[in-house]
């Protein structure tokens, strides 16, 4: 399945705040359907700002972001973003949180039956059918993060942007969420950008890993990983790439300081 | 200003975050707390009795305020329909004042909380107005609005609007930024953002404001009713004084205290019942 345009494309992005000089410069990225790209880099380098630009939450100083070949100037109904903080609304139960926003005026017009069907499918996909009437306070961290993912899925996004989504989870829950994410991306062929500082997570999930660093930050290196998934028991085979990444990250941190 | 608000808001946050813990602690200590509370009340009655019965001469003015006479008057009052009428009138005034204060305080509080310029422009004015005792407006209110219920509604609303307004504004400022980012990323219009995120997000703070407002309303009510009206608890106080019915006067004081205690308990129950469901 090849489209004329990448699903999500960023070109010549430059970003900075006030007079402090640019934070990020000359950043470009293109994602096809079903592709997972990880953006890796030292902390404080502007990864979160970058993903907000990709989501249309923030405008770059120069350059543009396009969804399906169309330049976006604002948030796009079919680009979903999730953060480390699941951001569930505490006064809505899980089901209503997942459905949240589906009926907003600027979203695609859906009948209430369609909204219901999408919500149900998303909740089932993340395995929270049993908890659909619970309030966020009654969910564990992992369940809340699943609910946040379901809320993204209910919109049937073309692109999914994840900013350190599993950063606050324990090891086992995190592994669980990683395989859920892989299965979601495979099933819905969502173009997915993942921001993380965890090299192993990047190795496990990504088709490509983009390292950014320097001041202002730019793309320093890129790795393509063709190993079949799941890769949990193949991490040893990825050892060489891992060492390369660690060394490049080290060099980037040195250059950053 | 923001210190006051942050203080209130911080209290509010804690009560929102650890309701289970709080409930547990309250439950395990409940019977003992109840006994301690009763003992404290008993001590007050004892002190009252000592002052008006043991220490006062039998036919002195003080002796007329003694607990025995007061309680027998209280029972007479409670069994008469007269008292119920006055209580109903007073509660109606409280309700009108509270509803008006909500109708003004919540929208204005939302605007103040959402707009930094409006906040900067209104903050000193609100602080100044807030610190004027509502009772000092009383002559002006009567001159402008005439004698009757209207000046009382005005004074009560004026007293109750500040905690509601300022808590609403604080609630807006304490909204979780993640919720606002979420609603933006879902392409919410400003109106949708207000209806689906901001307003439900400040309910907890508004209820804190309501609770504070009820306390203030009850305190301001009685002196307000001492002026140009012919019913209500404040009127009863002056009426009993004029009839030299001192034991009845003391009984009214107790009725006012009891009703205020019940109102505050009701407001607290509302507050803690709402929060676990809405803002936990």
- CATH code for position A62: 3.40.50.300
Mean pLDDT score, B142-156: 91
Mean pLDDT score, B101-109: 96
Quote the pLDDT of residue B257. Answer: 92
Nearest-by-CA chain A residue for B188? A104
In a domain, residue A144? The reply is no
In a domain, residue A138? The reply is no
State how far the Cα of B127 lies from the Cα of B136, in Å rounded to an integer: 16
Is B178 in the A-facing interface, judged by CB distances under 8 Å? yes
**How confident is the model over B170-216, as pLDDT tens digits?**
999 999 999 999 999 998 999 999 999 999 999 989 999 999 999 99
Q: Please indicate whether, in this complex, the C-beta atoms of A83 and B196 are within 8 angstroms of each other.
A: no
Which residues in chain B have Cβ-Cβ distances shorter than 8 Å to A85? 178
Q: Please indicate whether, in this complex, the C-beta atoms of B181 and A106 are within 8 angstroms of each other.
A: no
Chain B: closest CA distance from residue A91 (Å): 4
ipTM, 2 dp? 0.85
State how far the Cα of B153 lies from the Cα of B165, in Å rounded to an integer: 17
Task: List the domain range (segments joined by +) for residue A200.
Answer: 1-75+191-257
Three-state SS across B17-56? Answer: HCHHHHHHHHHHHHHHHHHHHHHHHHHHHHHHHHHHHHCC
Q: Whose CA is closest to A45, among A246, A247, A210? A: A210
Query: pLDDT at residue A212 above 60?
Result: yes
* From B181, B192, B278, residue closest to A91, measured CB to CB: B278
**How confident is the model over B220-274, as pLDDT tens digits?**
999 999 887 888 899 999 998 998 888 889 999 999 999 999 999 988 888 887 7
Query: pLDDT at residue A45 above 50?
Result: yes
State how far the Cα of A244 lies from the Cα of A238, in Å rounded to an integer: 10
Quote the pLDDT of residue A256. Answer: 58
State how far the Cα of A166 lies from the Cα of A15, in Å rounded to an integer: 26
Dihedral of the alpha carbons of B87, B89, B90, B92, in degrees to the nearest 10: 120
Quote the pLDDT of residue A106. Answer: 85
Quote the pLDDT of residue B272. Answer: 83
Mean pLDDT score, A11-17: 88
* From B183, B189, B279, residue closest to A91, measured CB to CB: B279
Banded pLDDT at B1 (limits 50, 70, 90): very low
Centre a 10 Å sphere on the Cβ of residue A63 and count the other Cβ atoms it contains. Answer: 18
State how far the Cα of B114 lies from the Cα of B119, in Å rounded to an integer: 8
Beta bridge partners of A198: none
Structure tokens at A134: 């619970």
Banded pLDDT at A198 (limits 50, 70, 90): confident
In a domain, residue A161? The reply is no
- Buried residues in B136-170 as b, exposed as e (16+ CB within 10 A): ebbeebbeeeeeebebbbbbbbbbbbbbbbbbbbb
Geometric angle at alpha carbon B230, from B224 and B231, rounded to 5° = 75
Quote the pLDDT of residue A255. Answer: 63
Q: Please indicate whether, in this complex, the C-beta atoms of A90 and B178 are within 8 angstroms of each other.
A: no
Span of A170-174, A206-210, A250-254 with lowest mean pLDDT: A250-254
Q: Please indicate whether, in this complex, the C-beta atoms of A55 and B192 are within 8 angstroms of each other.
A: no
**How confident is the model over A79-112, as pLDDT tens digits?**
999 988 999 999 999 999 999 989 898 888 888 9
- Looking at the structure of chain A, the number of domains it has is 1
Domains contained in chain B, CATH given: 2-278 (1.10.3720.10)
Quote the pLDDT of residue B280. Answer: 39
Highest mean pLDDT among A154-158, B18-22, B101-105, B133-137: B101-105
State how far the Cα of A75 lies from the Cα of B187, in Å rounded to an integer: 6
Q: Please indicate whether, in this complex, the C-beta atoms of B277 and A85 are within 8 angstroms of each other.
A: no
In a domain, residue A202? The reply is yes
Is A167 in the B-facing interface, judged by CB distances under 8 Å? no
Banded pLDDT at B3 (limits 50, 70, 90): very low
Q: Is B87 helix (H, G, I), strand (E, B) or coil?
A: helix
Banded pLDDT at B23 (limits 50, 70, 90): low
In a domain, residue A85? The reply is no
Q: Please indicate whether, in this complex, the C-beta atoms of B278 and A90 are within 8 angstroms of each other.
A: yes
**Which DSSP string corresponds to A177-233?**
HHHHHHHHHHHH--EEEEEES-HHHHHHH-SEEEEEETTTBEEEEEEE----S--GG
Mean pLDDT score, A248-257: 75
State how far the Cα of B8 lies from the Cα of B106, in Å rounded to an integer: 16
Is the pTM for the entire model greater than 0.90?
A: no
Q: Is A27 helix (H, G, I), strand (E, B) or coil?
A: strand
Residues in chain B: 280
Dihedral of the alpha carbons of B234, B239, B244, B247, in degrees to the nearest 10: -50
Which residues in chain B have Cβ-Cβ distances shorter than 8 Å to A75? 184-187
Quote the pLDDT of residue A229. Answer: 79
Quote the pLDDT of residue B30. Answer: 79
In a domain, residue A216? The reply is yes
Structure tokens at B144: 């402008």
């Amino acid at each position: 399945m090849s489209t004329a345009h990448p699903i999500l494309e960023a070109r010549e992005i430059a970003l900075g705040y006030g007079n402090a000089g640019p934070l990020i410069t000359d950043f470009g990225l293109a994602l096809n359907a079903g592709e997972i790209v990880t953006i890796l880099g030292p902390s404080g380098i502007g990864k979160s700002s970058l993903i907000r630009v990709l989501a249309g939450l923030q405008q770059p100083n120069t350059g543009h972001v396009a969804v399906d070949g169309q330049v976006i100037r604002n948030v796009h109904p079919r680009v979903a973003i999730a953060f480390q903080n699941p951001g569930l609304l505490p006064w809505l139960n899980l089901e209503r949180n997942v459905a949240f926003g589906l009926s907003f005026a600027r979203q695609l017009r859906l009948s209430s039956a369609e909204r219901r069907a999408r919500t149900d499918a998303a909740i089932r996909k993340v395995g929270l059918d049993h908890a659909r009437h619970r309030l966020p306070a009654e969910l564990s961290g992992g369940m809340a993060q699943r609910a946040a993912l379901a809320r993204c899925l209910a919109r049937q996004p073309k692109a999914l942007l994840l900013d350190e989504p599993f950063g606050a989870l324990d090891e086992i829950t995190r592994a669980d969420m990683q395989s859920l994410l892989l299965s979601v991306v495979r099933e819905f062929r969502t173009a997915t950008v993942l921001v993380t500082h965890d090299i192993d997570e990047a190795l496990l999930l990504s088709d490509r890993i983009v390292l950014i660093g320097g001041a202002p930050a730019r793309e320093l290196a890129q790795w393509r990983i063709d190993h079949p998934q799941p890769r949990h028991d193949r991490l040893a085979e990825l050892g060489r790439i891992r060492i390369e990444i660690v060394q490049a990250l080290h060099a980037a941190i040195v250059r950053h300081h | 200003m923001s210190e006051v608000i942050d203080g209130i808001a911080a209290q509010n946050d804690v009560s929102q975050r650890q309701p289970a813990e709080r409930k547990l602690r309250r439950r395990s200590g409940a019977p003992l707390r109840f006994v301690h509370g009763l003992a404290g009340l008993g001590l007050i009655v004892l002190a009252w009795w000592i002052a008006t019965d043991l220490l006062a001469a039998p036919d002195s003015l003080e002796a007329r305020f003694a607990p025995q006479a007061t309680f027998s008057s209280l029972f007479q009052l409670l069994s008469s329909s007269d008292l119920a009428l006055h209580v109903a009138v007073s509660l109606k005034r409280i309700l009108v004042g509270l509803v008006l204060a909500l109708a003004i305080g919540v929208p204005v509080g939302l605007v103040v909380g959402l707009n930094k310029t409006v906040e900067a422009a209104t903050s000193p004015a609100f602080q100044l107005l807030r610190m004027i005792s509502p009772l000092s407006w009383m002559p002006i209110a009567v001159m402008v609005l005439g004698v009757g219920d209207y000046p009382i509604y005005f004074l009560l609303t004026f007293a109750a609007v500040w905690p509601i307004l300022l808590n609403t504004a604080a609630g807006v400022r304490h909204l979780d930024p993640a919720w606002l980012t979420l609603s933006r990323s879902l392409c919410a219009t400003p109106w949708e953002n207000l209806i689906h995120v901001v307003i439900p997000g400040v309910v907890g703070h508004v209820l804190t404001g309501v609770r504070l407002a009820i306390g203030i309303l009850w305190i301001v009510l009685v002196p307000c009713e001492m002026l140009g009206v012919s019913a209500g608890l404040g009127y009863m106080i002056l009426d009993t004084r004029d009839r030299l019915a001192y034991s009845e006067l003391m009984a009214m004081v107790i009725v006012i205290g009891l009703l205020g205690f019940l109102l505050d308990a009701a407001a607290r129950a509302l507050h803690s019942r709402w929060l676990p469901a809405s803002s936990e």
